[in-house]
Structure 1
Amino acid sequence: MTASNVSLATAQRIDDFRRLGRMQAGSLIISVFGDAVLPRGGRLWLGSLIALLEPLGLNERLVRTSVFRLVKDEWLTTQAVGRRSDYLLTAAGRRRFEEAARQIYAAQAPAWDRRWRLVLVVGELDVRARERLRRALFWQGFGDLRAGCFIHPSADLRQVFDALTTDGMGDTLPALMPLLAANPHLGASANDSDLVRRAWNLDALAAGYQAFVQRYRPLWDEWRVPARRPRDPALAWQARLLLIHDYRRLLLRDPELPEVLLPADWPGQQARALCRDLYRCLLEPSERFLDGALRLASGEVPTATPLLQERFQPVDPLAVPV
């Protein structure tokens, strides 16, 4: 079997992406910075980014427009180097991706300490402020029990409040009360299951994970046997980017519930394993490609850090956030 015909699924996935009618270029650029640029110092020359994304159907004008919008939205910032400029994740942008990275690159779902994290609205907030708070907590995985009560099984409440402050919502903090509610049962109880049903609708998320597995399993079949892998490292990079981009978009809607609180045969577990295994297969050839493709405004090649090798490593099951 030749390299040309073992890359059919990978090439098909890339072609499908290129044919998308509406492309969220800004979201894809954030995936590039979080997955490839952050482990190499967190900065990149715009010309290098343009060349990196052109094979995926993003032209120079679209990339420039999207980058400028990300600067305006305070995801990215710029730093001049002579006549050129490097782009970097802002402190807020870095924090947002690092929070997501804890989910994206975890080898397994976290253990549960059987304590619920609650955020209660105990002060006066107008309708607009309440909606803004609801959306902010939704993106951090919180379920809404109504009546001003938001719930999560494992969120770090300190980081939650820090994130609200970073996102310009510090003035709402006096109206909020963080609480921990202990569960005396060794496992999940009927009350826990009822809370999950009330706070989250998992059906759409389950369908998304099933579609992810269906989309990327053929790529796993191409890359899992070293002797049969496609030989083009550019394909490895493009497949890696789309893999992480699609998985990250699912995780943005995932409350990261511990396994004991999830329905039986939850497809998110299969999606996590598939993403982990395929990513590890794609990592070495894609990094070889990035060594030749990434440049700083100075012309230097940004070098990789050990952060890459830490991804998808088993986590300490006792390291549960408070």
Structure 2
Amino acid sequence: MEKQFNTRSMIFTLFGDYIRHYDNVIWIGSLIRLLEEFGHNEQSVRAAISRMSKQGWVKSTKIGNKSYYSLTEQGQVRMEEASQRIYKTEHPSWDGNWRILVYTIPENKRHLRDELRKELVWSGFGLLSNSCWITPNPLEEQVNRLIDKYHISDYVSFFNASYIGKNDEEELVQKCWSLDEVNKKYQQFIQEYSQRYVIDKNKMEKDELSDGSCFVKSALLVHQYRKFLFIDPNLPQELLPKKWLGDSAASLFNDYYQLLIHPAKCFFEEVFRQGEVEKVIEEIKR
């Protein structure tokens, strides 16, 4: 099979959608076997998981001649945040206030500034002006984790404030986020995956899709939809455009996911059990 998406991203998808629900541990052999379904070879899987370990997302445990991998606390927190946004059923409520984060990170710590920017975009912050980021969502907990993670408490100021500017809040949103571009991406997703959904629903009714095919289709669906976490700020309903397509995309995603997930889990569990994980869970948790 032709390789689809990069190996590291696919590993994140499998941890988020499957592994964390199965005692958060998997044998490297099972992970390699699962990634083969997407065209990734053993070498690329081992290189990607090693890189994720160095970055603090996963940790390894050696038992006998087998290596097992599980999410670190940092990895579990990120997966939980991502899951809540991917499988959300409604928009966040809004208290009418804005959270404002301002930083003055010195030039000799520029790498921290770059990392922080990436984290803020992922969390849904919008850039109001140079080094000044805002969000209508109560992300105090996430911000405090970022400050602790990068040890930047001396360089960051964080406020909870009201907007009393002369322009309305719609213009404020337009200045900070390119929602028209996000809407176009949602439109593309709907056009492509609504057709796939109809085709696969018909195949399922005729029993023409194998468990392995459902596993691949489900994982790629989640992987594709997960990209919206990096561009959709998850704004409250009051701040969204009238013709917002995010809700239609979310409905399509959930319908398609539910169509595939049962046979997909059957395939995953068949491969997962080959690692005899249940025998080593207690030792890994010590």
* TM, length-normalised to structure 2: 0.87
Equivalent residue for 2:132? Answer: 149
Q: Aligned pairs, how many? A: 276
Deviations 1:36-59 (A, max 9, x none): 101111110011011111121111
| Amino acid paired to 1:284 | H
1:214 and 1:114 map into 2 onto residues whose CA distance is 34
Q: How far off is 1:239 after superposition?
A: 0.9
2:48 and 2:234 map into 1 onto residues whose CA distance is 29
Secondary structure at the aligned position of 2:129 is classed as coil
Is 1:255 the counterpart of 2:238? The answer is no
Equivalent residue for 2:183? Answer: 206
| Amino acid paired to 2:269 | D
Q: For 1:217, which of 194, 197, 210 is the aligned residue?
A: 194
Which structure shows the bigger proportion of residues in helix conformation?
Answer: 2
Q: For 1:134, which of 95, 117, 121 is the aligned residue?
A: 117
Percent identity between matched residues is: 32
Equivalent residue for 2:79? Answer: 97
Secondary structure at the aligned position of 1:114 is classed as coil
Cα 1:175–1:83 shift into 2, 3 Å = same
Q: For 1:265, which of 243, 251, 271 is the aligned residue?
A: 243
- C-alpha contact (below 8 Å) 1:43/1:296 kept by paired residues: no
Higher RCO (C-alpha 8 Å, min separation 6): 1
Secondary structure at the aligned position of 2:29 is classed as helix
2:130 and 2:44 map into 1 onto residues whose CA distance is 43
Which consecutive residues of structure 2, in runs of 5 or more, have no partner in the other structure?
282-286
Secondary structure at the aligned position of 2:213 is classed as helix
> Residues 303-318 of structure 1: matches in 2 within 5 Å?
none
Q: How far off is 1:277 after superposition?
A: 1.1
Q: How far off is 1:204 after superposition?
A: 2.9
Which consecutive residues of structure 1, in runs of 5 or more, have no partner in the other structure?
1-14, 304-322
- C-alpha contact (below 8 Å) 1:145/1:199 kept by paired residues: yes
Cα 1:230–1:265 shift into 2, 3 Å = farther
Deviations 1:47-100 (A, max 9, x none): 101111112111111111111111122111101121101111111111111111
Is 1:176 the counterpart of 2:159? The answer is no
Is 1:108 the counterpart of 2:90? The answer is yes
Equivalent residue for 2:52? Answer: 70
Q: How far off is 1:159 after superposition?
A: 2.5
Secondary structure at the aligned position of 2:99 is classed as strand
1:237 and 1:132 map into 2 onto residues whose CA distance is 33
Q: How far off is 1:120 after superposition?
A: 2.6
Secondary structure at the aligned position of 1:26 is classed as helix
Deviations 1:96-122 (A, max 9, x none): 11111110111222232222111133x
* TM, length-normalised to structure 1: 0.78
Cα 1:229–1:120 shift into 2, 3 Å = farther
Q: How far off is 1:231 after superposition?
A: 3.7
| Amino acid paired to 1:60 | E
CA RMSD in angstroms comes to 2.5
